[in-house]
Structure 1
Amino acid sequence: MVGRLDLLPSAGRRRPSHHRRDGIGGRQPGPGFPAHYSAPYAEMWNDPSTLMNAYNATGNKYYTLAFVISQGTCNATINGDTPVTDSGWNNAINSLRAAGGDVIASFGGASGSELASCGTVAAMQAQYKKVIDQFNLTRVDLDIEGGTLDNTAANDRRNQALANLQQDYAAQGKKLDVDYTLPVSPNGLESNGVALLQNAKSHNLNVNLVNIMTMDYGPAMDMGQAAISAANGLHSQLGQIWNTKTSAQLWAMEGNCPMIGVNDTSAEVFTVQDAQELESFAAANGIQELTFWALSRDNQGSSGTAQSDHQFTNIFKAITGGGSTPPPTGGTTPIHGYGGKCVDVAGANSANGTPVTLYTCNGTNAQQWTHSGNTLGALGKCLDVTAAGTANGTKVQLYDCNGTNAQAWTTGSNGSLVNTGSGKCLDDTDWSTADGNQLQIWTCTGSANQSWTLG
Structure 2
Amino acid sequence: MHRKRIVSALSALSAAVVVSGALTAGAYATPSKHAAEGAAPTAAPSGLNGPYLYLGWGSPPKATSVMSATGIRQFTMAFMLSDGGCNPKWDGTRALTGGTDQSTINSIRSAGGDVTVSFGGWSGNKLGEKCSSAGALAGAYQKVVDAYKLKSIDIDIEATEVSNATVRQRVIDALKTTKTKNPGLKVYVTFGTTTTGPTADGKDLVKRGAAKGLDAEWAVMPFDFGGQGSVDMAAATKSAVDGLKNTVASEYKLSSDAAYRKVGFSSMNGHTDQAGEIVSVADFKSMVSYATSHHLSRVSFWSLNRDRKCGSGGGGDACSGIEQGTYDFTKVLAGYNG
What TM-score, normalized by structure 1, do the two folds share? 0.62
**Residue 31 to residue 134, structure 1, CA distance change in 2 (3 Å):** farther
User: What does residue 42 of structure 1 align with?
Assistant: 53
Q: Secondary structure at the residue paired with 1:38?
A: coil
Equivalent residues of 1:107, 1:142 under 8 A apart: yes
Equivalent residues of 2:80, 2:89 under 8 A apart: yes
**Do structure 1's residue 101 and structure 2's residue 113 form an aligned pair?**
yes
User: What does residue 74 of structure 1 align with?
Assistant: 86
CA separation in 1, counterparts of 2:123 and 2:132? Answer: 20
| Cα deviation code 1:40-76 (max 9, x no counterpart) | 1101315786322321221100111110011542111
1:22-61 → structure 2 map (5 Å cutoff): 29=25, 31=27, 34-35=44-45, 37-46=48-57, 50-61=62-73
Equivalent residues of 1:31, 1:102 under 8 A apart: no
User: What does residue 231 of structure 1 align with?
Assistant: 241
Equivalent residues of 1:255, 1:289 under 8 A apart: yes
**Do structure 1's residue 151 and structure 2's residue 159 form an aligned pair?**
no
- Indicate the structure with greater strand content: 1
Corresponding letter in the other structure for 1:270: V
* Aligned-pair CA distance for 1:118: 0.5
Q: Secondary structure at the residue paired with 1:291?
A: strand
Equivalent residues of 1:60, 1:317 under 8 A apart: yes
CA separation in 1, counterparts of 2:110 and 2:154? Answer: 22
| Cα deviation code 1:356-378 (max 9, x no counterpart) | xxxxxxxxxxxxxxxxxxxxxxx
| Cα deviation code 1:221-279 (max 9, x no counterpart) | 11111111111111111111111x23222111122111111111121111111011111
Equivalent residues of 2:2, 2:303 under 8 A apart: no
Corresponding letter in the other structure for 1:280: S
State which of 305, 322, 343 in structure 1 corresponds to 2:322.
Answer: 305
State which of 256, 271, 285 in structure 1 corresponds to 2:280.
Answer: 271
CA separation in 2, counterparts of 1:298 and 1:166? Answer: 33
**Residue 68 to residue 13, structure 1, CA distance change in 2 (3 Å):** closer
CA separation in 2, counterparts of 1:120 and 1:39? Answer: 30
- Deviation larger for 126-135 or 116-125: 116-125
User: What does residue 221 of structure 2 align with?
Assistant: 213
Q: Secondary structure at the residue paired with 1:249?
A: helix
Q: Secondary structure at the residue paired with 1:266?
A: coil
CA separation in 1, counterparts of 2:60 and 2:322? Answer: 26
Higher relative contact order (CA 8 A, sep 6+): 2
| Cα deviation code 1:415-447 (max 9, x no counterpart) | xxxxxxxxxxxxxxxxxxxxxxxxxxxxxxxxx
User: What does residue 251 of structure 1 align with?
Assistant: 260
Equivalent residues of 1:30, 1:102 under 8 A apart: no
Equivalent residues of 2:197, 2:241 under 8 A apart: yes
Q: Secondary structure at the residue paired with 1:9?
A: coil
CA separation in 1, counterparts of 2:69 and 2:7? Answer: 23
Q: Which runs of 4+ in 1 moved over 4 A?
A: 10-14, 30-33, 46-49
* Aligned-pair CA distance for 1:4: 7.2
Equivalent residues of 2:2, 2:273 under 8 A apart: no
State which of 187, 192, 195 in structure 1 corresponds to 2:201.
Answer: 192
1:3-402 → structure 2 map (5 Å cutoff): 5-6=3-4, 8-9=6-7, 29=25, 31=27, 34-35=44-45, 37-46=48-57, 50-70=62-82, 72-115=84-127, 116-170=129-183, 175-207=184-216, 209-217=217-225, 218-219=227-228, 220-243=230-253, 245-301=254-310, 302-320=319-337
User: What does residue 375 of structure 1 align with?
Assistant: none
Number of residue equivalences: 299
**Residue 316 to residue 242, structure 1, CA distance change in 2 (3 Å):** same
Q: Secondary structure at the residue paired with 2:335?
A: helix
* % identity of equivalent residues: 29
Q: Secondary structure at the residue paired with 2:189?
A: strand
Equivalent residues of 1:107, 1:141 under 8 A apart: yes
> Which ranges in structure 2 are unaligned for 5 or more consecutive residues?
13-24, 29-42, 311-318
* Aligned-pair CA distance for 1:179: 0.6
Equivalent residues of 1:44, 1:78 under 8 A apart: no
Q: Secondary structure at the residue paired with 1:141?
A: strand
> Which ranges in structure 1 are unaligned for 5 or more consecutive residues?
15-28, 322-455
| Cα deviation code 1:382-437 (max 9, x no counterpart) | xxxxxxxxxxxxxxxxxxxxxxxxxxxxxxxxxxxxxxxxxxxxxxxxxxxxxxxx
Corresponding letter in the other structure for 2:330: T
Equivalent residues of 2:84, 2:92 under 8 A apart: no
Which protein is bigger by CA-based radius of gyration?
A: 1
Q: Secondary structure at the residue paired with 1:303?
A: coil
| Cα deviation code 1:277-325 (max 9, x no counterpart) | 111111111112210011110001110111000001111222139xxxx
Equivalent residues of 2:72, 2:333 under 8 A apart: no
| Cα deviation code 1:326-359 (max 9, x no counterpart) | xxxxxxxxxxxxxxxxxxxxxxxxxxxxxxxxxx
CA separation in 2, counterparts of 1:278 and 1:169? Answer: 31
